Copies of this chain bind each other. A is one copy, B any other.
Amino acid sequence: MRISDLSRRSGVSVTTIKYYLREGLLPPGRQTAATQAEYDDQHLRRLRLIRALTGVRGLSVSTTREVLDALGEHAGDTHTLLGLALGSVRVGEEPAGDAPEAGEVRALVEELGWDVHESAPARATLAETLSTLRSLGVPVDRHTLLPYARLAERTAELDLGQLDGIADPLEAAERALLLTVLLEPALMALRRLAQENESARRHAN
């Protein structure tokens, strides 16, 4: 397809596509004339992934390039691909500082028997939340979180199940990213509605 078709099908402007080509985020098309090149579905998939990484995860162009390079190096390894797309596997440095509650999170992960990277940013998020709640006089420890974590396991099974049947690993990485990040407000909204329903069940006449 021509660059204009690539733009139409991806929803990314021709100007931005040319910028990605210049920056090396997108490999060049097959030159068919002095000022014309042909692009294929591989370009389209990569463009969608770039859009998800920059738009949904908010990565800079240079970090996006690092993630894409790392994805290329782990092409056959779906687990690492998903980790890179979702941010649990970091590229570059970005060392995670140890929050005061990091030990509590480590103990929780151990108790759950979960196989997760030491550098996963979600660990820090968890530790920060525990610390915030403590400072507001609502102490929440790993014993409180444990049943929530068991429900999260079942949520994750649903999430990963939605990637079944997607053969292309880059497409799976993009889909995982979109579903993970964009479903968050929906899942939180479901929790609020469910709370209201549960409150009605318990307290309403």
Chain A, residues 172-202, CB within 8 Å of chain B (1/0): the string is 0001101110111111111111111111111
Interface residues of A in 22-42 (CB under 8 A from B): none
In the complex, A157 has a CB within 8 A of chain B: yes
List B contacts of A203 (CB < 8 A): 77-79, 82
Do A199 and B122 contact each other (CB < 8 Å), given the known contacts A178-B136, A179-B138, A192-B86? no
Check B155 against A116 for contact (C-beta < 8 Å): no
A35 to B123: give the CA distance in the assembly, Å: 50
Most chain-B Cβ atoms within 10 A of its Cβ — which of A152, A158, A203? A152
Please name all residues of chain B whose beta carbon is closer than 8 Å to the beta carbon of A138 when the two chains form the complex: 175, 178-179, 182
Q: Which residues of B contact A154 (CB under 8 A)?
A: 151
Contact A115 B182 (CB under 8 A): no
Interface size class, chain A: 35 or more
Contact of A160 among B79, B88, B186, B195 (CB under 8 A): B195
A69 at the interface (CB under 8 A from B): no
The yes or no answer to A144 lying at the interface (CB within 8 A) is: yes
Number of copies of this chain that the complex holds:
2
Interface of A, helix, strand, loop or mixed by DSSP: helix
A138 nearest in chain B by CB position: B178
Closest to A77 in B: B203
From residue A127, how far is it (CB to closest CB) to chain B in Å? 9
Chain B residue at smallest Cβ distance from A10: B137
Q: Which 4 A-B pairs have the closest CB atoms?
A: A156-B194, A79-B203, A122-B189, A152-B190
Residues of A at the B interface (CB closer than 8 Å) are: 48, 77-79, 82-83, 86, 88, 109, 112, 114-117, 120, 122-123, 125-126, 128-130, 132-133, 136-138, 140, 144-145, 147-149, 151-160, 162, 175-176, 178-180, 182-204
